Amino acid sequence: MESTRDRLVRVGVELMEESGSVDIGLREIARRAGVSHGAPRRWFPTHRALLSAIAAAGLADLTSAVEVSGRDLEGRASVAAAAESYVDFAVRRPAMFALMFRHDLLVGGGENLRATSRPLFGWLRRQLDELGLDETERRAAVLWSGVHGVAMVNATGAMGLVAPGVDHRIVVRDIIDSACQAGPLRT
């Protein structure tokens, strides 16, 4: 049976994704969850705490999608599948993707989101380690930053406005090629 806390998070996710906005209220979440308007405060002392729990659920979904996408692949193919999964998540769930990286809204929310998101970066770094590259921490940062940028511009529809006809999958592959090239990164 679903706990009240889990139901509040699930309903929060549903409301956010229905509305396409991170601007969701505690009262509406409580109403939709079938609890009193004061009930969320029992599990979440602040609105920020509930938003953080919703973001943590999204990060768990994203991490799972990325890990599953590259599971049966090796090397760059694994990295490429993971990167494409990351962008696809942002496009399919733009409000969730936006919330997950709204540190201004989530700081101090009690979910320790940095600890939740670090395993995803660690997975990427391990993939680069397996390629035998040097400076894997820096390369992972370059790769994540580039792919995250592609995800953001695709989630907001900006890619189609500034570069209509450019396939984001090709852009992602270019980012991967740049980050994974043999030798040192350009300085």
Q: Is 7 exposed, middle or buried (0-12, 13-18, 19+ CB in 10 A)?
A: middle
Closest CA relative to residue 109, chosen from 165, 47, 156 = 47
Of the pLDDT bands very low, low, confident and very high (cuts 50, 70, 90), residue 152 is: very high
43 residue type, one letter: W
Structure confidence by residue, pLDDT tens digits, 107-136 = 666 666 666 677 778 888 888 888 888 888
Q: What is the DSSP string of 99-120?
A: HHT-HHHHTTSSS-HHHHHHHH
Q: Determine the pLDDT at residue 145.
A: 92
Structure confidence by residue, pLDDT tens digits, 63-115 = 899 989 978 888 888 889 999 999 999 999 999 999 888 877 776 666 666 66
| Look-up of token digits 């970066």 | 121
Cβ-Cβ contacts under 8 Å for 13 (sequence gap 6 or more): 54, 57, 58, 96
Q: Where are the alpha helices (DSSP H) in the chain?
A: 4-19, 26-33, 40-43, 47-69, 75-92, 94-100, 103-106, 113-130, 136-155, 158-162, 168-180
The whole-model pTM stands at: 0.87
**Is pLDDT at 21 greater than 90 in this prediction?**
no
* Residues 12 and 23 sit within 8 Å (Cβ to Cβ): no
**Which domains are present in the chain?**
47-180 (1.10.357.10)
